[in-house]
Structure 1
Amino acid sequence: MSDDLAARLREQGLRLTPQRQLILRAVEDLRHATPDEVLAHVQSQVSSVNASTVYRTLEVLEELGLVRHTHLSDRAPTYHSTLEHEHVHVVCRRCHTVSSYDPDLVAPVVATLADDGFTVDVGHLAIFGTCADCAGT
Structure 2
Amino acid sequence: MSSGPDDLADRLRGSGYRLTPQRQLILRAVEELGHATPDEVLARVREQASAVNASTVYRTLEVLQELGLVRHTHLSDRAPTYHSTREPEHFHLVCRKCQRVRSVEPDVATALVATLRSDHGFAVDLGHLAVFGHCLDCSPGETS
Indicate the TM-score class for this superposition, using the shorter chain for normalisation.
over 0.9
User: Superposition pairs for residues 1-137 of structure 1, below 5 Å?
Assistant: 1=3, 2-115=5-118, 116-135=120-139
- Which segment drifts farther, 15-24 or 106-115? 106-115
- Seq. identity, %: 72
Give the ranges of 4+ consecutive aligned residues of structure 1 lying more than 6 Å apart after TM superposition: none
What is the TM-score normalised by the length of structure 2? 0.92
Distance in structure 2 (CA, Å) of the matches to 1:67 and 1:60: 9
Provide the secondary structure at the position in 2 that maps to 1:80.
strand
- Which segment drifts farther, 61-70 or 87-96? 87-96
Q: CA RMSD in A?
A: 1.1
Amino acid of the structure 2 residue aligned with 1:117: G
Amino acid of the structure 2 residue aligned with 1:58: L
What count of residue pairs does the alignment treat as equivalent?
Answer: 137
Displacement after TM superposition at 1:16 (Å): 0.1
User: Which 5+ residue runs of structure 2 have no aligned equivalent?
Assistant: none
User: Which 5+ residue runs of structure 1 have no aligned equivalent?
Assistant: none
Distance in structure 2 (CA, Å) of the matches to 1:95 and 1:43: 28
Displacement after TM superposition at 1:132 (Å): 1.7
Deviation per CA, 1:97-116: give whole Å up to 9, x if none. Answer: 11011111111111011113
